[in-house]
Amino acid sequence: MTSIPKAAVLGKPIAHSRSPLIHGYWLKEQGLAGEYNRREVEPGALAETFRALRAEGYRGFNVTVPHKEEAFAACDEASEAARIAGAVNTVWFEGDRIIGDNTDGTGFMAHLDQTHPGWDAGVRRILLLGAGGAARGLVVPLLNRKPEALVFSNRSAEKAGHLATTFRPVSDETRTSVATWGMWNDLLPETDLVINTTSLGMKGQPALDLDVTRLPEHAVVADIVYVPLETPLLGAAKQRGLRTLDGLGMLLHQAVPGFAAWFGVRPAVTEGLRRHILADLRA
Ligand code: ATR
């Protein structure tokens, strides 16, 4: 077994994953001997791949589409965030045990706190658009900031309703409710944070049609889409003079706990890292 610590991202397809660039940047920055690779894995083969790569000296993995739920099932122990999401994106080993975490929610919050410190002072209403895996991972970190109201809205309304009922018992300080998709105008004047977790605004997809001029001046508009970095939603919010949050920061921050677990150093998300990944996105 080699003494160089190794980690990898597992998914299918995997060629476009930016994770090797992020971790490669940090390994160099920290002057650490280590490797971070990408491996294409077939659905159904994840547990077996964990075992085989571990025998080759791997300390853990990032797991991406379509394997996050399978990774959850393959772990011996999962963090609260992973259990809530039913999905794992970061894996490491402790003794004989496989431990899984889901770092998307904390990554999003770290990015938000770092970019707009104090955004949550007196937060009244948060509007969460979308009800897929990404939205689900954000609910508890958002409720922890104790907004007065968390409003779910999704094209398929029953999925938004399901999130609202599932998470209602988690906080007695926040009202959870559902807004019909597209019917946001009356809500926006008292909304402090809007988060788009749908694929609308992504390259090749239609834009999200939300009238940012109705938001208050202090509002933050966040998108988890990062190709393009400035989605039409963020462009309109910027033009209106609102604070914005792009999707790249979440991608960078969600990578921090894995690097710390595998390589023993907690890295920082810096402008240098951002520029490094942006250069690749532009290429
Ligand atoms: P992720 O894990 O990134 O959240 P996902 O689980 O596939 O991905 O969820 C995609 C989200 O984008 C869903 O909320 C989806 O809405 P539906 O539940 O109605 O499918 C939303 N979405 C995708 N395309 C959309 C579109 N054209 N209009 C509105 N919402 C869309």
Active-site hit among 68, 159, 203, 238: 68
Q: Is pLDDT at 191 greater than 90 in this prediction? A: yes
**What pLDDT score was predicted for residue 1?**
52
**Using CA positions, which residue lies closest to atom 18 of ligand 1?**
156
What average pLDDT does this structure show over 162-189? 95
pLDDT digits (tens, 9 = 90+) for 45-93: 999 999 999 999 999 999 999 999 999 999 999 999 999 989 999 999 9
Of 116, 137, 142, 113, residue with least CA distance to 127: 142
- pLDDT tens digits for 3-32? 799 999 999 999 999 999 999 999 999 999
Is residue 177 within 8 Å of residue 151, measured between CB atoms? yes
Task: State both tokens at 90.
Answer: 């970061």
Mean pLDDT throughout 129-149? 94
Per-residue pLDDT, 283: 87
Q: Which of 263, 205, 214, 213 is nearest to 22 (CA)?
A: 263
Clarify whether 159 is annotated catalytic: no
Predicted confidence at residue 7, as pLDDT, reads 98
**pLDDT > 70: percent of the chain:** 99
Segment 186-192 mean pLDDT = 98
Q: Give the span between the Cα atoms of 66 and 41, in whole angstroms.
A: 10
Sheet containing 149-153: which strands, arranged edge to edge? 175-178, 149-153, 125-129, 193-196, 220-223, 243-245
Residue of 60, 50, 49, 106 lying closest to 260 (CA atoms): 60
Return the ∠ at Cα 127 (arms to 126 and 133), rounded to 5°: 110
195, 197, 199: residue to mutate for ligand 1 pocket, most atoms within 8 A of CB:
199
DSSP structure string for 108-155: HHHHHHHHSTTTTTT--EEEEE--SHHHHHHHHHHHTT--SEEEEE-S
What single-letter amino acid sits at 14?
I
Instruction: Write down the pLDDT at residue 170.
Output: 87
Binning pLDDT at 50, 70 and 90, where does residue 2 land? low
Measured by CA distance, the residue closest to atom 31 of ligand 1 is 198
Of the given ranges (58-62, 112-116, 170-174, 183-187), which has the lowest mean pLDDT?
170-174
What does pLDDT average to over the chain? 96
Per this entry, what is the length of the chain? 283
Are residues 220 and 193 in contact, defined by beta-carbon separation less than 8 angstroms? yes
CA 135 to ligand 1 centroid distance, Å = 10
- Average the pLDDT over 154-181 and give the result: 95
Question: For residue 167, what are the CA distances in angstroms to 81, 143, 170, 250, 257?
Answer: 13, 9, 5, 22, 25
Neighbouring-strand partners of residue 194 = 127, 221
